[in-house]
Amino acid sequence: MTKKVLKFGGTSVGTIERIQHVASIVKKEHLAGNNVVVIVSAMAGKTNELIKLSKEISDKFSKRELDVLLSSGEQVTSALLAGALIKLNIKAKSLLNWQIPILTEGEHSNARITNMNVEKINEHLNEKEVVIIPGFQGITKSADITTIGRGGSDATAVAVAKLLNADTCDIYTDVDGVYSTDPNKIPVAKKIDKISYDEMLELSSLGAKVIQSSAVQTAMMYDIPLEVKSTFTERKGTKIFNQENIDYTKSVTGVAYSKDDAKITLIGVEDRPGVAANIFEPLSKAQINVDMVIQNISSDQKTTDVTFTVKRDDVDKTKEILKEKSEIKYKDIIHNDKVAKVSIVGAGMVSTPGVTYKMFRGLSDEKINILAISTSEIKLSVIIDENNTLNAVKKLHTIFDLD
């Protein structure tokens, strides 16, 4: 008997009618003889509503209490879906994180799942019941409710699939798979039938919102096959699996972009050993994620300009930290938060010469200036002016034959 984990995102359960539709999908899987565990997100918009309520109380709302508040969104969906299945004469039960329990560790709003007691879930599955679990949350050893970051229901689904030794993990969303770029912005984007963990990890970490990057990473570590499907159509989705399935014949698989980055430059930094560590160590301790880093050494080799990117929300905090560190000597600090990161991703880049040139020439033809560059084996990212984002994505999508 096949053990399946099905995850439904916020848009899939956004209304009572949609929850009833999800119940019909789950019923079909159950009647096919599968053991089914369902992970649900909060109804679309509910998490933002709850955040807004917390801000009406205080701009410095307790992180512990915020996790208690936000976790209620997924709990509501769990109960509604269980009720919808029971109405369809399917035995179903919702199990909250503390009832299982799902154990987490780490700070509030950014915890990670470490373990889960599978006995209770398997007991219900053996009784031919569908088990519904709220995503995005868990409980610490000290019995505090924690959440695992926005989009964390994907991570919950993959973790549950791993700990239950499930045969498959299907991610249901409002699109029918992974596309070569955002189909809402680029109508000629095409669906990818198969993609490797590595490529999907790069795309999801670079702005493709179809599946959370930490979920892909967990699936890759434990070789859990994923499939991204649409809740609203019966078309085949995108299968995500291991390295052996990489298509090396295509140099670029997709184009991703994000508009939540900012560029910071330290001008005239004293050039000596340990300077970079002095700059980035306090940022790391403050949980500020640094992405691209560029260093330009002056002709006299005594000073250097250091440019790096952070998330826009972290700009003020970053500048404040650097100004407070007296051991970091520099002449000035400037920032630009009107930038975007545009990236091309593809396993075939490893064996295809000229990809870098082709990308840079394409952007040059569109009169788009590159402000920073970052590369990995299967990814090439650039920072550009935010106003040029859509133009850049369209151009790259065309020149790499993705239309």
Residue 298 confidence (pLDDT) above 70 = no
Sign of CA dihedral 107, 61, 8, 233: negative
Tell me, what's the pLDDT at 245? 58
Residue 13 confidence (pLDDT) above 90 = yes
Among 24-28, 31-35, 118-122, 210-214, which is the least confidently predicted range? 210-214
Q: How does pLDDT run across 98-130, given as a tens digit for each residue?
A: 999 999 999 898 899 999 999 999 999 999 999
Torsion angle of alpha carbons 329, 333, 337, 341, nearest 10°? Answer: -50
Tell me, what's the pLDDT at 247? 61
pTM: 0.80
Q: What 3-state class would DSSP assign to 290?
A: coil
3-state helix, strand, coil in the chain (%, to 5): 35, 25, 35
Q: What phi, psi does 193 have (nearest 5°)? A: -75, -40
For the ranges 127-131, 274-278, 292-296, the one whose mean pLDDT is highest: 127-131
Integer Cα distance of 82 and 362 in angstroms: 52
Integer Cα distance of 34 and 346 in angstroms: 35
Per-domain residue ranges of the chain: 3-174
Peptide bond into 134 cis (omega under 30): no
Q: Are 301 and 282 in contact (CB under 8 A)?
A: no
Q: How does pLDDT run across 363-402, given as a tens digit for each residue?
A: 999 999 999 888 888 899 999 999 999 999 999 999 998 8
Higher pLDDT, 256 or 300: 256
Q: Which whole number is the average pLDDT over 87-97?
A: 97
Query: What are the distances in angstroms from CA 212 to CA 273, 309, 321?
Result: 37, 21, 29
Tell me, what's the pLDDT at 88? 98
Tell me, what's the pLDDT at 122? 96
Question: In 190-314, which ranges are E strands?
Answer: 191-192, 194-196, 226-230, 238-241, 254-258, 261-270, 293-297, 303-311
Q: Which CATH architecture has domain 3-174?
A: 3-Layer(aba) Sandwich (3.40)
